[in-house]
Amino acid sequence: MEGPPSDETLLVGVAERDMGAFRALYERHAGWLALRLARRCNDRDLVADAVQDTFVAVWQKPRGFRGDGDIAAWLWGIAIRRLVSRLRQRTDVAVVFESTGIMPAVEDQVLLSVEYGDIGAALVRLSPEMRAVIQAVVLDGLSAKEAAQLLHVPVNTVKTRLYRAKAQLRTTLAEGLA
């Protein structure tokens, strides 16, 4: 078979201590991971550290990928948690959730069209704090505890904001239908 090796092939190479495969995996994923992390944290150094931590973790435990789902999703799971862990050591860094919101897993086209629909409008009407919680928990798949560490707020605050945000979304959507 011609063409570039798949992520799975590269990961097998990493497990066999192949630096070339590791490099290829890095070049394929580091860019978008850094970009996505930077949308959640405005400290470039921390983002760089988190990306490095992510790939060091991949090198140390390439068999952590259990073969379920996409390797990209696995990498993102590691990266966002590395960022949380880095943020925990630093309390002076502000977390930003720039212009991103929440979407359930539906068809991509539907998701994009939501921009002009009710959910998009409902999201915009949420306060930034609530949107941040919604994004961390729903979109990034973090636990309430991890979201609390990311946002530097108590766990109970995360739970409260999540509850209120969902309630507000529900109300806004119901109003739209009426």
Partner 1 sequence: MTGWHVDDETLRHYVERTDSVAEGASVERHLLNCAQCRARVNTAATAVDLAVVDLAAVWDGTRDAVEVPRPSVFERLLRALGLPAHEAQLVAVASAFRGVWLVGVAAVLAFAAGAAVIGHARGLWFFLAVAPLAPCLVVAFSYDRRWDPALEPETVTPYPTLRLILLRTVAVLAVALPAVLLLGLVVPGAAPFAWLLPAVGFVALVLAASTWASPLNAAIAVSAAWLMTVWLLAARAASPSAVLQPWTQVAFLVLAAASFGTFLVRRRHVRQLRPWR
Where on the chain is the footprint of partner 1 (CB under 8 A)? Answer: 7, 19, 22-23, 26-32, 34-39, 44, 47-48, 51-52, 55-56, 59-60, 70, 72-73, 76, 98-103, 105, 107-109, 111-112, 114-115, 119-120, 123-124, 131, 135, 139
Which residue lies nearer to partner 1 by CB, 36 or 159?
36
Whole-angstrom Cα distance, residue 86 to residue 92? Answer: 12
Which residue lies nearer to partner 1 by CB, 112 or 174?
112
Shortest CB 16 distance to partner 1, Å: 14
Which residue lies nearer to partner 1 by CB, 44 or 156?
44
Which residue lies nearer to partner 1 by CB, 19 or 154?
19
Shortest CB 77 distance to partner 1, Å: 10
Secondary structure (H, E, C), the chain: CCCCCCHHHHHHHHHCCCHHHHHHHHHHHHHHHHHHHHCCECCHHHHHHHHHHHHHHHHHCHHHCCCCCCHHHHHHHHHHHHHHHHHHHCCCCCECCCCCCCCCCCCHHHHHHHHHCHHHHHHHHCCHHHHHHHHHHHHCCCCHHHHHHHHCCCHHHHHHHHHHHHHHHHHHHHHHHC
Shortest CB 138 distance to partner 1, Å: 9
Which residue lies nearer to partner 1 by CB, 56 or 167?
56
Shortest CB 154 distance to partner 1, Å: 25
Shortest CB 5 distance to partner 1, Å: 12
Whole-angstrom Cα distance, residue 32 to residue 29? Answer: 6
